Structure 1
Amino acid sequence: KDKNSTQTCSTCGGNGQVRRVQNTFLGQMQTVATCPDCNGEGSTVTAKCGGCKGDGRVYGEETVSIDIPAGVQEGMQLNVSGKGNAGERGGSNGDLIILVEEEAHKELHREGLNVAYELHLSFTDAVFGTQAEVPTIDGRAKIKIPAGTQSGKIFRLKGKGFPAVNSYEKGDQLIQVSIWTPQQLSTEEKAALEKLSSSPNFTPQPEKSERNFFDRIKDLFQ
């Protein structure tokens, strides 16, 4: 309230510390602690401000704009120097700590720097091959699906993942094929498939060169 309304703390005599003597079975023990009345400042305020009660700070809110670096992940912390709480009695301001939380995407799933996407293909597209359009973090991209693609096949789009923070490194986009099986068939469709089911080409014949399920799962986390 008044810059001249301060006086030397009567508790510590201006030292900011108080000494206490305790009697123990080993004799007297002396300890030094911060003065509880002046909080170590050595002086107290006699005419305190009605707004801050002599603390020099009041509650308030401020909106600040910050730059979010590319590639930040869930749980990362961003530090904005000097934008935290005001220091006591004119002291330095603290920092503003911002915790990053990610919102889930309806189609893409993040795995570190990599992006995973499940591509649903019809049985005929998997047999004959096709060109599919998939979402990426940069928009949409087209990929070629070769004839005879198996369910679980993983395609990799190099460099289509997230960038590393403060680095030139980039992740990839992993596209896993899931072949959709129809649940309802007409009489004609059932007859056609029953006729084809006896063909040797419709009998599972996995090749030894094909990667198994567990190897493909490992690819998702590399």
Structure 2
Amino acid sequence: SCSTCSGTGARNAGAYHTCSTCNGKGRVTQFTNTFLGRMQTTNTCPSCGGEGKIITEKCTSCFGNGIVKEDEVILINIPAGVAEGMQLSLHGKGNAAARGGIPGDLIVVIEEVPHEKLIRDGNNLLYDHYITFTQAAIGDTIEIPTLEGKARIKIEPGTQGGRVLRLKGKGLPSVNEYGRGDLLVNINVWTPQILSKEERQILEKLGMSENFQPQPKKGDKSFFERMKEVFN
């Protein structure tokens, strides 16, 4: 609203008078005689527009409108866990209304910028990590990015490609509920695409070993079964 006239639109406190048409009520009542009897209708006063007063000297800053165009920078609190498309409503921070009316609200629509490494799935976070054939066979400890920094997880010997490791509570917090989502790490085993002659000979020799033959256990789950279990 206009700071000069405090939103009244008048130059000063004595620069307006009570509307003579509605006597300051902002409404006028009319009576009409019909064959059904006398009808009464109440409408907004045409002289003052429902304000009950008429400005005689307009404010020089807002020209009688009670509002001026200007930008305002405000700070807002973004709750943890908000997602793309969610809306935040700031009461009374929208456009001002003419001559002392109730201001509107400011609606903030959330637009989420993707993380460079982590993928969001609801409150869970997904991360693809590649390990070498050697790491998969003999095990290792690797570092995984999280929202709070890096976390170390253990790769068990004999880890198969497609295994999903779950880091409890390393996802995003829920906006309307308690708790946090999880960070799901999908383990991929990198297969060398270029081999030297010596490397090929070593692998061919290892390939003849019984331990290098596929021997899935009866209880091992397929990729689709693991995915169903993870997301349920």
Normalised by the length of structure 1, the TM-score is 0.81
Partner of 1:108: 118
Q: Could you tell me how far 1:57 is from its partner in structure 2?
A: 0.5
TM-score scaled by structure 2?
0.78
Indicate yes or no: 2:148 matched with 1:138. yes
Contact kept in structure 2, 1:127 and 1:148, CA below 8 Å = yes
Aligned: 1:60 with 2:70: yes
Of 146, 167, 170, the residue aligned with 1:157 is: 167
Per-residue deviation at 1:127? 0.8
Aligned to 1:27: none
1:132 maps to a residue whose letter is I
Matching residue within 170, 177, 181 for 2:180: 170
Question: Is 2:217 the counterpart of 1:207?
Answer: yes
Report the equivalent of 1:24. none
Moved more, 39-48 or 55-64: 39-48
RMSD: 2.9
| Cross-structure match for 1:88 | 98
Q: Residue 225 of structure 2: SS of its match in structure 1?
A: helix
Q: Deviations over 1:85-105 (max 9, x none)?
A: 223211233332222222111
- The answer (yes or no) to whether the contact 1:7–1:46 under 8 Å persists in 2 is yes
| Structure 1: unaligned runs, 5 residues or longer | 21-29
1:4 aligns with 2:8: no
Does residue 123 of structure 1 match 2:142?
no
TM-aligned CA distance change 1:115 to 1:3, over 3 Å: same
> Identity percentage over the alignment?
51
Contact 1:116 1:220 in 2 (8 A): no
CA contact (8 A) 1:111 1:221 kept: no
Separation (CA, whole Å) in 2 of partners of 1:213 and 1:11: 80
Q: 1:178 to 1:5 in 2, by over 3 A?
A: same
1:194 partner amino acid: E
Instruction: State whether residues 116 and 173 of structure 1, in contact with CA within 8 Å, keep that contact through their aligned partners in structure 2.
Output: yes
**Which consecutive unaligned segments of at least 5 residues does structure 2 have?**
1-10, 31-39
Structure 2 match to 1:51:
61
SS at match of 1:143: strand
Paired with 1:221 and 1:202, the residues of 2 have a C-alpha distance of 31
Q: CA deviation at 1:149?
A: 0.6
d(CA) in 1 for partners of 2:125 and 2:45?
A: 57
d(CA) in 2 for partners of 1:37, 1:119: 73
